[in-house]
Structure 1
Amino acid sequence: MQLNDDACYQALISRDSRFDGRFFAGVLSTGIYCRPVCPARKPLAENCRYFSNAAAAEAAGFRPCLKCRPELAPGQAWSDGAAMVARRAEEAIRAGDFQDLTTLAERLGVTDRHLRRAFANRFGVSPVAYAQTQRLLLAKKLLAETTLPVVDIAMAAGFGSLRRMNSLFAERYQLTPSKLRRQAEAPAAELTCRLAFRPPLDWQATLAFLKNRAITGVEKIEANEYWRTVRLDYQGKMHQGWLKVALAGSELTVTLSNSLIKAVPPVLSALRHLFDLDADPAEVTANLGPLVNNPGLRALGAFDGFEMAIRAILGQQITVAAARTLAGRLAALGSPCPDAPEGLSHCFPTPAQVAALSQEQLGQMGVIRSRSRAMLALASAVTEGLELSPSADIDEITAKLESLPGIGPWTASYIAMRALHWPDAWPVNDHGLKAATGLESPKALAHYMSAFSPWRAYATQHLWSQL
C-alpha cells in the first residue's frame, strides 16, 4: 500500500485493526516501532515515521515494541502479479527457506542482482536484511510464548548458532534474549504460539469446510479445534509430529508437539496459508460487493501442497465425501505418527511413497485408472522438483500440472487456488460454481468470474457458501 502520513496516523490513534500488518509506525522519541493496534499511549504525529514492513523499520534503527509485539502482525496478501519475484522470495523467507541469496535466486530462476533489485523495490531492504528480521521476530515470539531453552530457540529461528542470535539481538534490540524473556509475559507451559489476523474470521465456517474434507487419521475437527499430523523436511532434517489450532479472540493459538520444536517457521507459515490469515476482509468485501454475505469467509489455502494436490485429483468428478474416503485409505499407507492424540494416526504419504505405488495398489483402494495415473505422475514430478507452495511461480507450475496425464484445467486451477494459495485462482468450469450462478456454459461462467479478478478465489468461497 502507498503510505500516507495523515492516513497512517489516523489509523494509529484509532487502533484500526484493518491496517494491522499493512504498516508499522516508528516513534522517534522512543526508538520503537509498533503495530497500528498498539495499546500504548499514542505519540505525537511529528514523532512518527511509517514503514510497510518490520524489516524496513528495523533497518531505520527502530526496535520492536514489547507491548503490541510486531511479530504477531498478519502479513499482506498478494492480489496481483506485480513484483512477482519479490513476492515469491518473501514467501520462501517467511517459511524459513532461506540459506543465502545465491541459492534463493537460483531457485527463483533469476540472478542475484535482479533478486536484490526487485526485493529492494518492493520492501525497501535486501533479502538478507528481511530474513534477519524474520528470524529475530520469530525468536522474540518463541522467547515470549514458550519455555524453550534459548539455544533451541536460536536453532528453531534459523540462526545456526546461539552466538549469532545473541549478536543480532544486541545489535538490533540493545538487549539479550534472556533479558527479553524476563520482560515478556510469563510463557505458557506448552509449546504454544499465537497467529494474528484481521477480523472478521468465521471460525465455524472455516472448521465446517475443513471437516467435510478432513483426511481420516491425518486431520480432525474436535471441540472447535483443528488437529492434524505433520511431516516435513526442514533444514535438511525430517520433522514429524502433530498440532492443534484454536480461536482466541482476534488470534489463533497453535499448540505443537515437542517433536516440531525445530520446525516452527515452516509450520507457522503453512498455517497462515491454510487459514488465509493475511487476508484483508475489508478489501475483499469492497472488491466483491453484493456477493459477500459473510465477510468472515476466507480463501483457505493448504498446509501441505502435495497432500492438497493429491486430494484434488481424488476429488475429480466425485462427491467431497467419496474423495475424503479415498484420501483416508491412501493416508493409511503413510508413516505412523508417534504419540499422536486420539483420532490421529498417520502422516500423509510423501511424494516418494506415493510414486512407489502401482496402479494396481491404488485400484484396490478404489481409485480408477485415470486418477491413479495422474497421482503417480504428480508424485514423480514432485520428487523431481515440481514445487507446490505459495513461493512457486504460478504460471510455470500451472502449465507443468496441465502437461501431466489426468490433470486438466479444473484440477490445475484448484491446486493453484489451494496449494499455491493464489487469490485470483478459481476452479475452472466447476460444477458447484455453475450451480451457484445458474450458468451452464463454461464461457459464460468464465466471463462472470472475470468481474471479480483479482479476488476470484474469494468469490469462489462465497459462491460455494450459497449452495
Structure 2
Amino acid sequence: MSATYQQARLSRDPRFDGKFFVAVKTTHIFCRPICPANLPLEKNVEYYELAESAILSGYRPCLRCRPDSAPDSFAWQGVDTTLNRAIKLLKQYPELSINEITTKLGVSPRYLRQLFQHKLGMSPKQFQLFNKVLFAKRLLHESQISVEQVAMASGFSSSRRLQSQFKKITGLTPSNIRKVKSVSMPNQNINLKLNYRPPYHWEHIKDFLFLRAIKGIETITDNSYSRTFVIEQEPGWFKMTFNPKHTYFDLEIKLNNLSHLRSVIMNIERLFDLKADPVAIHNQLLATGLAKEHLVRGLRLPGVWNCFEAGCRAILGQQISVKSAISLLTKLSENLAEKHQTLAYFPSASAVANSNLEFLKIPNSRKQTLIDFASYMQNNEKNPLNHSIDDLILIKGIGPWTVSYVKLRGQSSPDIWLDSDLIIKKQLAQYKISPQKAEPWRSYLTLQLWNLA
C-alpha cells in the first residue's frame, strides 16, 4: 500500500483523506495526505492507517491540516466484528471505562486487550485516551465552548485531567490551541465541520430525504438539512449545510448535555454516510455489470436518526407509496410527538406502545404490528447492544423486507440487498447484473437501482 499512499500524498488526493496519515520523521509531526505544507522527501515519512497509531509512535498532530478533523477511516470494517464494535463504543462513549465497554461487548478485559494489541499494536485504554485527546483538540479548534465543557464532551473527568493529558500527548496546552476567547454556552449552538471524501452527490441525498421528510421534525433546503432529535431523554437539534468547495459540511448543534455530543456527531456522520469511500464503492458496483452511465457518482446511504424511527417508517410504508407513508408518519408525529418549548420531536417508543393509534387510517393488524414493535424497542432501548434487529422478525406483521429496511436506514448497514423489494425485482428484470459481485456494498446497489427507477 505504500506506493498508493505515496502517490496519494504527492497529489494531495482528497479521496484518501482519513484513510491514512503521513508522519514526518524530521519534524515528529503527522498530517493528513491533503496537508498544504511543503511535501517532505519520501525517505523522511512513515504511513499510519490510524491517527492513534501515529500518536503511539511519538508523533504530534499537525496544527495546519489537523488530523483530528479528517473523516474517519473504515479500514477495520469487516476485519473483526468485536474490534469494530469496540472501536465504535470507545469513540461514541468516551466517559465509559474499559470494564464497562467489555461488559457491553460481552467479552473479558483480557481478551479485548489481546485483540487490540494484536490488531492495532496498542491497548484499548491507549486508543481511548488518544481518541479523546483528538476529539478535544477538534472542539478547541472549532468551537467556543469552555475548556471545562470540552473536557465533559470528550470524556475527561475534569479540565485539569484534560489539560494534563493534552500536554503529554500533543506537547501543547488547550490555551495554545485556542485562538478565540472561550465562553460558557449553555444556550448557544456549537459549530463544527464534518469532512467527507469526494465525490459526494448531495442532490441525490437531498432529494431522497426531502421526499421522506416528516413535517415539523425535518427541514430541507437546497443546501441544508435540519431536524430535532432525542438522545438519552435529552432533546436536541442540528443543521447540516453542504459546503462542496471545501469538502465538508458545516454542522450546527443545539444540545444542553454535552456529554452526549460525541454520540450525536457520530450518528450525524452515519446519517449522511460521511465515512464512505465512494471510489471503492463505485468500482465494486461496476463489477456487477451496471454501466457507468447508470451509476450515480458519489452516492451515499441516507439514514434516519435511529432504528425505532426506521422501523416506524418501514411498517407504515408497507405496500403503499412513499407519499402515503410520509402522510401517515406525519400524522403519527402530530398526535404523539414530544414537545419541548416550541419544537416537536419524533414520538418515543413508549408513546407509540401506549397508544391505540386510532388516528391512523390503516388496518388494525398494521396498528398492532406498530404497537408490538414499539413495545419491543421500549423494552430494549436501555441495552441496544444486547438485542439484535434480526429478532424483529418474531413480531407478527414484520417480514424480512422490514428488518432489512431498518438495518439499511436505521443502522446504515452497507451490505443490505433488498431483493424482495418490488422495484428491485423490476429493475433486475431490466438490467442483467450479478448482485453478489457488489458485496460488501449491496446497500448501495439497492439504492442505485431505486434511483434508476
Q: Report the TM-score, using the length of structure 2 for normalisation.
A: 0.90
Structure 1: which amino acid aligns with 2:436? Answer: S
Alignment partner of 1:462 is 2:448: yes
State whether residues 423 and 455 of structure 1, in contact with CA within 8 Å, keep that contact through their aligned partners in structure 2: yes
* Partner residue, 2:404: 413
2 CA distance for matches of 1:175 and 1:308?
A: 43
* Partner residue, 2:347: 349
The worse-fitting range, judged by mean Cα deviation, of 194-203 and 250-259 is: 250-259
1 CA distance for matches of 2:407 and 2:260?
A: 25
* Partner residue, 1:199: 198
Alignment partner of 1:450 is 2:414: no
Question: CA, structure 1 residues 244+117, in 2 after alignment: closer, same or farther (shift >3 Å)?
Answer: same
* Partner residue, 2:390: 399
State whether residues 284 and 437 of structure 2, in contact with CA within 8 Å, keep that contact through their aligned partners in structure 1: no
2 CA distance for matches of 1:377 and 1:291?
A: 43
Alignment of 1:183-198 (within 5 A): 191-198=190-197
Question: CA, structure 1 residues 428+381, in 2 after alignment: closer, same or farther (shift >3 Å)?
Answer: farther
1 CA distance for matches of 2:383 and 2:400?
A: 16
SS for the counterpart of 1:257 is strand
* Partner residue, 2:13: 16
* Partner residue, 2:225: 226
2 CA distance for matches of 1:97 and 1:176?
A: 20
* Partner residue, 1:45: 42
1 CA distance for matches of 2:418 and 2:75?
A: 19
* Partner residue, 2:341: 338
* Partner residue, 2:365: 370
1 CA distance for matches of 2:14 and 2:98?
A: 34
Alignment partner of 1:132 is 2:92: no
Per-residue CA deviation, residues 15-52 of structure 1 (Å, 9 max, x unaligned), is 11121111111111111111111111111212211111
Partner of residue 65 from structure 1, selected from 59, 62, 77? 62
Deviation at 1:350, TM superposition (A): 1.8
2 CA distance for matches of 1:300 and 1:388?
A: 25
State whether residues 270 and 303 of structure 2, in contact with CA within 8 Å, keep that contact through their aligned partners in structure 1: yes
SS for the counterpart of 1:253 is strand
SS for the counterpart of 1:133 is helix
Structure 2: which amino acid aligns with 1:171? Answer: K
The worse-fitting range, judged by mean Cα deviation, of 113-122 and 32-41 is: 113-122
Alignment of 1:139-218 (within 5 A): 139-182=136-179, 191-218=190-217
2 CA distance for matches of 1:376 and 1:113?
A: 42
SS for the counterpart of 2:79 is coil
2 CA distance for matches of 1:30 and 1:217?
A: 52
State whether residues 335 and 348 of structure 1, in contact with CA within 8 Å, keep that contact through their aligned partners in structure 2: yes
2 CA distance for matches of 1:429 and 1:272?
A: 28
State whether residues 21 and 76 of structure 1, in contact with CA within 8 Å, keep that contact through their aligned partners in structure 2: yes
* Partner residue, 2:249: 252
Deviation at 1:244, TM superposition (A): 0.7
Deviation at 1:291, TM superposition (A): 4.9
2 CA distance for matches of 1:388 and 1:409?
A: 23
* Partner residue, 2:376: 381
Deviation at 1:147, TM superposition (A): 1.2
Unaligned stretches of 5+ residues in structure 2: none
Deviation at 1:98, TM superposition (A): 5.4
SS for the counterpart of 2:242 is strand
Per-residue CA deviation, residues 306-327 of structure 1 (Å, 9 max, x unaligned), is 2122211111111111111111
State whether residues 159 and 165 of structure 1, in contact with CA within 8 Å, keep that contact through their aligned partners in structure 2: yes
State whether residues 116 and 126 of structure 1, in contact with CA within 8 Å, keep that contact through their aligned partners in structure 2: yes
Deviation at 1:415, TM superposition (A): 1.1
2 CA distance for matches of 1:368 and 1:133?
A: 53
2 CA distance for matches of 1:386 and 1:430?
A: 28
Structure 2: which amino acid aligns with 1:352? Answer: S
SS for the counterpart of 2:227 is strand
Per-residue CA deviation, residues 131-154 of structure 1 (Å, 9 max, x unaligned), is 222221221111111111111111
1 CA distance for matches of 2:443 and 2:409?
A: 9
* Partner residue, 1:301: 303
Structure 2: which amino acid aligns with 1:414? Answer: Y
Deviation at 1:268, TM superposition (A): 0.9
Deviation at 1:386, TM superposition (A): 5.8
Per-residue CA deviation, residues 162-209 of structure 1 (Å, 9 max, x unaligned), is 11111111110111111111399xxx9952111111101111111100
Question: CA, structure 1 residues 372+95, in 2 after alignment: closer, same or farther (shift >3 Å)?
Answer: farther
Question: CA, structure 1 residues 216+429, in 2 after alignment: closer, same or farther (shift >3 Å)?
Answer: same
Unaligned stretches of 5+ residues in structure 1: 340-344
* Partner residue, 1:342: none
Per-residue CA deviation, residues 292-311 of structure 1 (Å, 9 max, x unaligned), is 52212112233222212221
* Partner residue, 2:269: 272
Identity of aligned residues (%): 34
State whether residues 413 and 428 of structure 1, in contact with CA within 8 Å, keep that contact through their aligned partners in structure 2: no
1 CA distance for matches of 2:413 and 2:278?
A: 16
* Partner residue, 1:314: 316
State whether residues 386 and 397 of structure 1, in contact with CA within 8 Å, keep that contact through their aligned partners in structure 2: no
State whether residues 270 and 302 of structure 1, in contact with CA within 8 Å, keep that contact through their aligned partners in structure 2: no
Question: CA, structure 1 residues 388+282, in 2 after alignment: closer, same or farther (shift >3 Å)?
Answer: farther
* Partner residue, 2:327: 325
Alignment partner of 1:243 is 2:234: no
State whether residues 90 and 101 of structure 2, in contact with CA within 8 Å, keep that contact through their aligned partners in structure 1: no
State whether residues 237 and 253 of structure 2, in contact with CA within 8 Å, keep that contact through their aligned partners in structure 1: yes
State whether residues 336 and 346 of structure 1, in contact with CA within 8 Å, keep that contact through their aligned partners in structure 2: yes
- How many aligned positions are there? 441
Deviation at 1:398, TM superposition (A): 3.9
State whether residues 419 and 425 of structure 2, in contact with CA within 8 Å, keep that contact through their aligned partners in structure 1: no
Structure 2: which amino acid aligns with 1:349? Answer: P
Question: CA, structure 1 residues 291+372, in 2 after alignment: closer, same or farther (shift >3 Å)?
Answer: farther
Q: Report the TM-score, using the length of structure 1 for normalisation.
A: 0.88
* Partner residue, 1:438: 429
Structure 1: which amino acid aligns with 2:415? Answer: D
The worse-fitting range, judged by mean Cα deviation, of 264-273 and 376-385 is: 376-385
* Partner residue, 2:420: 429
The worse-fitting range, judged by mean Cα deviation, of 115-124 and 217-226 is: 115-124
